[in-house]
Structure 1
Amino acid sequence: MRYPIHFSSETREVELTGEAYFFVAKDKNRPFIVHTPNGDVKQYGTEFNINTKDEIGVTRIVLVNGSISITPKGGREYMMKPSDMAILQPESGEAMISQVDITPYIAWNIGTFVFEDCTLEQLMRVLSHWYNKRVQFESEEIRQMRFTGEFDKYESIVPIMKAIHKVTGLRVEIRGQEIIISK
């Protein structure tokens, strides 16, 4: 995230690449604006999560409380309601907005990873980033296995891998900085 030492008297603007959770005080004279690679988010006193780390280059914005607008690059402004998720596609100027359960999108901020019907590859991408590990899958079939679960973010990776083994029946080996998942 990039931000100035002091905000101007007209706006409060930051740039984000990655994921961040914002809890922003309302200031009708100085809107808070987050610039992402795929568009801008303007808040009106609120809580929201932004993730630009998606594997296909989209930006996801989940509104927890309050009110925000989003403006995709080259597109029009859209207003969001609490529990809305907006997906900004790169270069299209379009936004897809739908209602979601906000829990999986904010759980990381309160010390929990929540995964709901995601692929094992998606789950392991998050865990490998958090625990600084590389992951090898024996097959494409294993990558695409679906998973739902919740883990303590600050727990060691060992019990998490044991839980994945127990639920899936897969062999999960940790060798230094590498995790190998096989049948």
Structure 2
Amino acid sequence: MLIIKAKWFSVKKSLIRLHPISRFLCHKSEMTEQAKNKWEELAAKLHGEETDSSVQFEAGDEDLKISQQILDARDKVAKLRNLKSTDKAWREVKGNMKNSRKLWLSFAKYAAVFVVAVLLTGGLFLIQSPSEMPNTFACISAPNGQISNVTLFDGTNVWLNAGSNLKYKQSFGSENREVYLEGEAFFSVTKNKKIPFIVHAGNSAVKVHGTQFNVKAYQSEPVIETVLVEGQVEFMSDNNDVMMKPGQQLLFSRESGNVETKQVNTDEFTSWKGGKIYFDDETLQNLTKQLERWYEVSFTFENEKIRNYRFSGVINKDRSLEYTLRIIQQINKVKFETNKEQIEIMDK
């Protein structure tokens, strides 16, 4: 059984889902945007949260019968949790849902895998046959423009920055605690001396037993960054094994394998969870990469010189893109030409 819990938070008096539980099997067919939206609304209802959209979903959606089947399935699955045989439980769930298979596939657009989604003790569960999918990975993603907060099966809390993906095997928690990161994430790891928690990022890994740390490993960036907030972690690569101490930042070059460590103010590297990012003498090229992920836009440069202009300051995600661009213009002698989601940066 795979478990994931999604959390909510309020920004400007609006209830916003931190990545709308885009929890999926890595090899599944793509869901339509409409289907995804329906799942988000249904998840809100199951979780006990009420939103305007979920009320509309209740009132008139033609697929309401499917959501009712899921709600009815709660009690069935609760009973199945007491069965000793996982395969036996799977067969019974499969039999109970046989009649709704056609409607389910129409609604959720799953082409290869049949799963049952139900709510148990506040989380969204995906139940699947262990014998049918022994090596399946579960994937969690935070699309551009969103920040995700999820709780893994072992109790570890993970924040995913925009444009990030995290995956792990379905045996996570019982046999291993290994995750694979593309992008940026903050981990608050539940202690377990018997099963260490390992974050794989590119050609490196971070091994811990229980601690708080941040890893930044976007594929488009040449350096993998680890910042330790508390506890102790071991950074591992082909050429280096480094034990980090709280307050340290470690920079690892993907190309050369070189490692550099220094003391930093960790708040400046974890504040993105609250929608703030600190930049200290950062190039405009690196700055725009973060803006692209946060605001779902694309930047181009009039010439190569502009890429290396420097910026120091704080960017707030709750501020509009237009406001942020005005601040950058005041610090650097640049101007912006906007065409929908395409923004060109030019010299004044």
Structure 2 residue identity aligned to 1:26: K
Give the number of aligned pairs.
182
Identity %: 36
| Structure 2 residue 212 is matched with structure 1 residue 47 | yes
In 2, Cα distance between equivalents of 1:29 and 1:10: 10
Q: Structure 1 residues 90 and 141 mapped into 2: Cα distance closer, same or farther (>3 Å)?
A: closer
CA distance in 2, matches of 1:20, 1:121: 21
Partner SS for 1:26: coil
Q: 1:91 to 1:150 in 2, by over 3 A?
A: closer
- Alignment partners' CA distance in 2, 1:141 and 1:94: 27
Amino acid corresponding to residue 131 of structure 1 in structure 2: Y
Distance 1:96 1:155, change over 3 A: same
Which residue number corresponds to residue 113 of structure 1?
277
Aligned partner of residue 167 in structure 2, secondary structure: coil
| Structure 2 equivalent of residue 101 of structure 1 | 265
**Superposition TM-score, scaled by structure 1 size:** 0.89
Structure 1 position 85 matched with structure 2 position 249: yes
3-state DSSP class of the match of 2:282? strand
- Residue 158 of structure 1: aligned partner: 322
Q: Which moved more, 1:79-88 or 1:9-18?
A: 9-18
Q: 1: CA distance between counterparts of 2:253 and 2:305? A: 28
Partner of 1:160, secondary structure, is: helix
Shift of the 76–10 alpha-carbon distance from structure 1 to 2, 3 Å rule, reads: farther
Match status 1:4 vs 2:157: no
Which ranges in structure 1 are unaligned for 5 or more consecutive residues? none
Cα distance in 2, alignment partners of residues 76 and 179 from structure 1: 40
Q: Quick check: which one's helix share is greater?
A: 2
Shift of residue 164, structure 1, vs aligned partner: 1.1
Q: Distance in 2 between matches of 1:90 and 1:120?
A: 22
- Paired position in structure 1 for 2:301: 137
Please say if 1:23 is aligned against 2:210.
Answer: no
Q: Is the 8 A contact 2:182 2:219 kept in 1?
A: no
Q: 1:99-140: per-residue Cα shift (whole Å, max 9, x none)?
A: 222233212112102111001111111102221212122222
* 2:225/2:252 contact within 8 Å kept: yes
Structure whose residues are more often strand by fraction = 1
RMSD: 1.9
Partners in 2 of 1:176 and 1:48 — Cα distance?
37
Preserved CA contact (<8 Å) 1:38 1:88: no
Deviations 1:27-63 (A, max 9, x none): 1122111112121111131111111116453311111
Cα 1:135–1:91 shift into 2, 3 Å: closer
Listed one character per residue, the Cα deviations across residues 145-176 of structure 1 (whole Å, up to 9, x for unaligned) are 11101111132211101111122242223220
What's the secondary structure of 2:319's corresponding residue? coil
Whole-Å separation in 1 of the counterparts to 2:281 and 2:255:
28
Distance in 1 (alpha carbons) for counterparts of 2:252 and 2:274: 25
Paired residue type of 1:136 = T
Residue 70 (str. 1) matches residue 70 (str. 2): no
SS of 2:213 mapped into structure 1 = strand
Determine whether 1:35 maps to 2:200: yes
CA pair 93-127 structure 1, distance change in 2 beyond 3 A? closer
1:173 counterpart residue number? 337
1:61 counterpart residue number? 226
Give the secondary structure class of the aligned counterpart of 2:269.
helix
